[in-house]
Structure 1
Amino acid sequence: MTPPRFTRRHFTLAAGAAAATLAVPALGAEGRIEKPKLSLAVGGKAAFYYLPLTISEQLGYFKAEGLDVEISDFAGGAKSLQALVGGSADVVSGAYEHTINMQSKNQFIQSFVLMGRAPQIAMGVSTKALPHYKSLADLRGKKIGVSAPGSSTNMVANLVLTRAGIKSGDVSYVGVGTAAGALTALRSGQIDAMSNTDPVMTMLEQRGDVKIISDTRTLKGTQEVFGGPMPAACLYTNADFVKQNPNTCQALANAIVRGLKWLQTAGPSDIIKTVPEAYLLGDRALYLASFNKVREAIALDGMLPDEGARTALRALSSFEPSVKPEKIDLARTYTNEFARRAKDKFKA
């Protein structure tokens, strides 16, 4: 696949993402957690995209930090974002690029700990529906499955199609989730192609159900698709929540970074024993094959790289007219202060 040729288009990143520590309050000396019981929204928790969240939950790391976290699982990232905006969730486990998209709508949300350093999203065409597929032009007028419209899986599909001159209106996007429903949607012919996460995409790929045409499950593949490092899953919330609840955000970051450290040395059997049985989708071997494929995409220490934020802005502005680079202040979309403290605490 031809690597992207994003132009800088006279971006002015003002003080730059180096100022990402802007407006983060000092932690209370006593470390009192302002909101020990909180609600967290996620879109497709069974996906490897959110594995660090599941690990931190299953191993009791949130409880160890004095948190009672109620996790609500939605069909996709756009739905969990809606929960935050609507006030039914305090924090979201979701894609970093939503922080940029929302700022373009004059709403400020902020990432405070990174879980994924590559999107882990693959796009494939159905070998049954499109047996003679030759190029992206063949997808005009077709139905493309995504976790949920407006989610990061939708974003990757938009990016890939836009580079081939295909507008979002030239295809139909269908929300299929990130688990068994997604497998069924493709195999039954409800959709012609799909942009989704693992383990779903590896399962479809290994059984010959899809032909992969774009792949960000590895760092190399992400570089080819986005032209740079692309941050993925993170914990984000309203900027005001971060200011008002610094100790709560620190506790959440601590739990996630501790989970990230555990994942660095975890073996396949450790993963199988820790995740819920339902996440395996009935096939342990394929689940582990999927894990091996995306393992390097999992963040190491919770820190979001400045260049990654710039990559996300370039990517979004290339197909989303409402995202104008010169009007986006990246320093307000994320902070590394909490992750930095957690990294020091756990030696991640």
Structure 2
Amino acid sequence: MPHHWMRHAACACIVLLALATLPATAKDAPEKSTLTMAVGGLPGLYYLPVLAAQQLGYFKDEGLDVTLEDFAGGSKALEAVVGGSADVGAGAYEHTLFMQAKGQRYRAFVLMGRAPQIVVAVTKGKAGSIKSLADFKGAKVGVSAPGSSTDLVLTVALRKAGVQRSDISAIGVGSGATVLSAVSNGQIDALSNVDPMMTKLQRAGEIKVLVDTRTVKGTQEVFGGTMPAATLYASEAFIQKNPRTTQALANAIVRADRWLQTVSDADLVKMVPKAYLLNDQALYVEAFHNVRDAYSPDGLMPSDGPATALRALSSFDTRLDAGKIDLNATYTNDFARKADAQAK
């Protein structure tokens, strides 16, 4: 065989080898395989599907290398996405409504939570004087970050009891161990926050629970419908430019959503990083069981979800004109539906 033929044959072999190592078909590969996701408090059970997708290698299986950037609350994570330091956000669906009201198009493309998982409670020391939400006037209330979902749930619940947001002082206390110190050093009278912290405080007898949206039933009592919670969202421009990347993210999250429906306590504890277990595996498992009902089983936005969220938000923020919001532009079920069909 002439020398140059051998060279061509060798080249062809190298090309074939390279193709063999690519995902099944190159055309299905994500447009952007390396990306950053901003998360509004990764240790919280609210974001467990993201944590599971990362720890169990589901993102990797989809050809993605995802860096999770953790923030004190959802509003801070949103700033990172809007500012461009993160490609995608993991946060509450309502961020997409707020952004549309500001003239910016963001869309939720896979659901992680169908209930906010947020608990409003009063500290043990104040339980005598603050017996119900109607007694919150003048109270110092700890939220993960002002403007985040913990603040929203608090505001909606208070308003139903005749108390305005301006009647209280909302103090950002994060959603990790910082919550415990805010309670123990008397910095706050009440709090609106997420698990596992709320189960830990409840178990220790440090708080009295007044509102509980960890279940679908408890959420309907507060909001009068299904209140969509944690989602993955991105700008409309990102989704249009990167449909395969968006699909890959949705595939990983739907797989994680499904895993959480049937996971054993032992497998859950094995997946969660030690630092998030608060040196108390039994507590973490108890908290997980308290919120398990809140996880979406299929990644799909419930039909009454967007309207329920808009109703709640326009009562939370008077600058939001419900009549001017196009709900269909704030979410899509296309990616989750396709991911769900593949997973079956």
Which TM-score applies when normalising by structure 1? 0.90
In 1: Cα distance, 2:57 partner to 2:267 partner:
15
State the partner residue of 1:225: 222
Measured in 2, the distance between the counterparts of 1:101 and 1:32 equals 32
2:3 aligned residue:
none
1:133 maps onto 2:130 in alignment: yes
Distance 1:216 1:135 in 2: 16
* Aligned residue identity for 2:257: L
The aligned counterpart of 2:310 is: 313
Q: Secondary structure at the match of 2:67?
A: strand
Check the 8 A contact 1:179/1:281 in 2, yes or no: no
Pairing of 1:1-348 with structure 2 (within 5 A): 30-347=27-344
Identity of matched residues, %: 56
Q: Is the 8 A contact 2:113 2:296 kept in 1?
A: yes
Moved over 6 A (4+): none
Contact 2:29 2:63 in 1 (8 A): no
Name the structure where helix makes up a greater proportion of residues: 2
User: Is the Cα–Cα contact under 8 Å of residues 257 and 301 in structure 1 kept in the other structure?
Assistant: yes
| 1:252 partner amino acid | L
What is the DSSP-based 3-state SS (H/G/I as helix, E as strand, rest coil) of the residue aligned with 1:335? Answer: coil
Alpha-carbon separation, structure 1, partners of 2:323 and 2:26: 38
Unaligned runs of 5+ in 2: 1-24
Change (3 A) 1:267 1:168: same
Q: Which amino acid aligns with 1:78?
A: S
Superposition deviation, residue 29 in structure 1: 8.9
The separation in 1 between residues aligned to 2:131 and 2:42, in whole angstroms, is 33
Give the partner amino acid of 2:134.
A
Asked which structure has the greater CA Rg, the reply is 2
- TM-score, normalized by length of structure 2? 0.91
CA distance in 1 between counterparts of 2:315 and 2:150 reads: 16
Shift of 1:176: 0.9
Select between 319-328 and 221-230 the one with higher mean Cα deviation: 319-328
Query: 2:303 & 2:103 partners in 1: Cα distance?
Result: 22
Shift of 1:138: 2.3
* Partner SS state of residue 300, structure 2: coil
Three-state SS of the structure 2 residue aligned to 1:321 is: coil
Determine helix, strand or coil for the equivalent of 1:243.
Answer: helix
Number of equivalences: 320
Bigger relative contact order, structure 1 or 2, given CA contacts below 8 A and separation 6+? 1
Partner Cα separation in structure 1 for residue 124 and residue 219 of structure 2:
24
1:276 deviates by 0.5
5+ residue gaps, structure 1: 1-27
Offset at residue 240 of structure 1 (A) = 0.9
In structure 2, distance between residues paired with 1:154 and 1:133: 18
